[in-house]
Every structure is written in C-alpha cells, then in structure tokens.
Amino acid sequence: MIKDFDNIIIKTVCRILTPFLQIFALYVIAHGHYSPGGGFQGGCILGASFILLVIAYDINAVKKRMTEKLNTALCSLGVIIYAGIGLICLILGANYLDYGILHRILPVDPVKARAMGTLGIEIGVGLTVMSVMVSIFLNIATGGKHEEGEAE
C-alpha cells in the first residue's frame, strides 16, 4: 500500500524537516518541567517524524534507520526504564516511585532528585509512545507485511 513515488519537493522538505521535528520532540520531553509537554506529547512528535518519512519516502527508508527489532526493543525499554526507576527507589529503601531517595546515587539534593526522577520516567514514557506509534502505523498501513505493496 505504501509506494515509493517521485516528488522531489515533498521528499526534500520532509528530509529537511525531520531533524528539526526530532529536536523539537526532545525539547518537549526535556522541557516538560517548565512548559506544557512531557513524555506522551514528545513521544508522539518523535513517532510522527518517522511516520512522515514513511509517507514521503517509503517503508524501506524507515526500516533502514529504525529496524523492527530495535523498535520493539525500545517499546519495552521505555516501560522497563519507568518500572526500573521505581524499583531502584524500592531497593534504596523508599516507597515505589518515591524519587526523593535517588539523592543517594545522584549528586543532587532530595528535592532536585525528584525532578531528576520525573525526567527519567518522562524519557521512558517518550520511548514507549514513539515506538508504539511507529509500530501501529507500520502494521496497519502495510497490513502487517512490513513491505512495499501495490496501491489497492
């Protein structure tokens, strides 16, 4: 269903736009403490940048940069980061997801450690949202085949 087509304007604009989109997505994730944003929103923008590549080029352009194995691994890694930070808090002797205790392993005071823990789980959420967006789009757009097909 996703076919390569030749349109130099679309391809060039998307190629130039993608890095800026991804930088903006990282900004939205990292700046979630101070402005509207966070893991869910930033992950969506990050996933949209890959979907833009699929639409402008073809599926092989994305499969080269983000293989299916890596994508599925990142999907799990996000949840593991989130649950792992909670588990580290548990091991250090506080409640689950009580980030204040992280000051023992981070060189900051307990209040700043809470902000650091928040940032860590936002990164985990962002990774999961990004790879789930890409995975769902590729699976639905190609009918689960993950290869170029004829337009139906």
Could you give the CA distance from residue 95 to residue 87 in angstroms, rounded to a whole number?
9
Identify the residue among 11, 15, 63, 146 touching other proteins (CB under 8 A): 146
Nearer to other proteins, 93 or 144 (CB): 144
Residue 87 lies near other proteins (rule: CB under 8 A): no
Q: Count CB atoms within 10 A of the CB of residue 76.
A: 12
Could you give the CA distance from residue 127 to residue 48 in angstroms, rounded to a whole number?
13
Residue 114 lies near other proteins (rule: CB under 8 A): yes
Could you give the CA distance from residue 114 to residue 118 in angstroms, rounded to a whole number?
6
Residue 25's closest CA among 117, 126, 121, 116? 126
* Residue labelled with tokens 């390569």: 4
Site for other proteins in 5-64 (CB under 8 A): 32-36, 38-40
Judged by CB under 8 A, the stretch of 13-21, 48-56, 58-66, 69-77 that binds other proteins is 69-77
**Binding residues vs other proteins (CB under 8 A):** 32-36, 38-40, 72, 75-76, 78-79, 82-83, 86, 96-97, 99, 111-112, 114-115, 117-118, 121-122, 124-125, 128-129, 131-132, 135-136, 139-140, 143-146
